[in-house]
A and B are shown apart, each in its own frame.
Chain A
């Protein structure tokens, strides 16, 4: 990609971001604004997942644990401290610190494992967090969860919209920069061929751990915003359904593109809204996970590059190794 085309796409993204600032003045309905806020939050979450799956080729089934850490940190701190903006900043700080420590430990211990083991271990770990949240009732309120108070300024839907939008824009451009940096190039090299990257002298584990810490921290911020937007938290933030949601968003939009997950988040959230609306029509729409799961399975089989990835590959002949060409290497 030459410099001119990079600049062009950057301009497009900036113009699009600016447009989003106008949206709340046009769309004033609270429920619609709420949906868009949810999209922003899940877009951040899905982008963080894209750093793992799309850029580094790591499959984690436990990424929700960081999302949950963010959500519970916020809820617990806001519940136990005064409802001020200061405590909100404390909540962010705590979420980031816990998420980085946990992601570092999990990464350092397990990222040397093969993809199967890692996927399995992270699934089990997320399960552990879920059980902990259920059992530690004094802190988490168990299954039912609890509501908490927020400072006036954060309760205002308009402000919340702006906060989430700014977070999304910052993370988008930040992560985009990150993936285009030399560090990001190494991550992609790992995705393409781990053994070769190692033999070129890069400490693959070191790079993977940093990628997982970055992804973990970003996911925890998404969790913070999620708790904020609901003013409520329960064990659902650690559920496997959420993992499938974020997988679907990332894959349907296009792995390894960052824009894809944002688009995917939009599609999935709107579909979710629409399907719950239909639950009055027929009860089967309450079981929307079936639809999501089925769409997800079909996308993985027939459409592994996702929307953005497919468009990009039309233009640049780019292939996403992680999902498509990773057939078993055949010896000579």
Chain B
């Protein structure tokens, strides 16, 4: 499989703090790559840096053989990367429908089709179409955020902790939907919920103290208790 997104020794600062100190990984086309690591390891910052919301201070970010490290956020997005941030970024005063409308880059047939598909996946969104985004439940907001990222023809989705703060039954639903999307698009997932990550993920990278320290296939990681304890604190 060819490489879709490649980070090579990426470093980033937030104000004067050196948050990312050497992130390297390779997201292959198709499938789900999971970024694992403790709280504060730099996973969210990694996604934000890919999106151009944080500056790359060193290293390169390559998407489809093009260096996107110094592009502004909107251009990165228009290269075909969808982003679901940790806080979902739902526009609270806009209705569900308006949230979708802001997200849609085109109004052609393909987009409409994707929209129908994603609304079938999340019938709640159709039900609350005219409800303001701020009035949705946590799970519904997550669905809206994912739908927004999916509705455009993106080649890569960055999804940041979709299970955060959700009830287990909702987590299952979100997991299920991501598994379905995986058929059509490549996903880079940050996830603390190991159950969910192991269900969805194909390959994984572990980030610790702002560096990628380990990688491999998800199947292997499930067997490797030592590694899991060392970096993820899971016994």
Contacts and interface: CB of A to CB of B under 8 A. Distances in A.
Interface of A: 325, 327, 329-330, 332
B19 A325 contact: no
A329 B19 CA distance: 14
B15 A329 contact: yes
Interface string B19-54: 100000000000000000000100011001000011
B14 A332 contact: yes
Given A330-B53, A330-B54, A325 B15 contact: yes
B204 to A, nearest CB: 21
A225 B19 CA distance: 53
Instruction: Give the interface size class of chain B.
Output: under 10
A79 B37 CA distance: 76
Contacts of A330: 14-15, 48, 53-54
A320 to B, nearest CB: 15
A332 B44 contact: yes
Nearest to A327: B15
A332 B15 contact: no
A85 B15 CA distance: 56
Nearest to B14: A330
Nearest to B19: A332
A331 to B, nearest CB: 8
A212 to B, nearest CB: 28
Contacts of B19: 332
Nearest to A330: B14
Given A325-B15, A330-B14, 11 more contacts: A327-B15, A329-B15, A330-B15, A330-B48, A330-B53, A330-B54, A332-B14, A332-B19, A332-B40, A332-B44, A332-B45
13 contacts: A325-B15, A327-B15, A329-B15, A330-B14, A330-B15, A330-B48, A330-B53, A330-B54, A332-B14, A332-B19, A332-B40, A332-B44, A332-B45
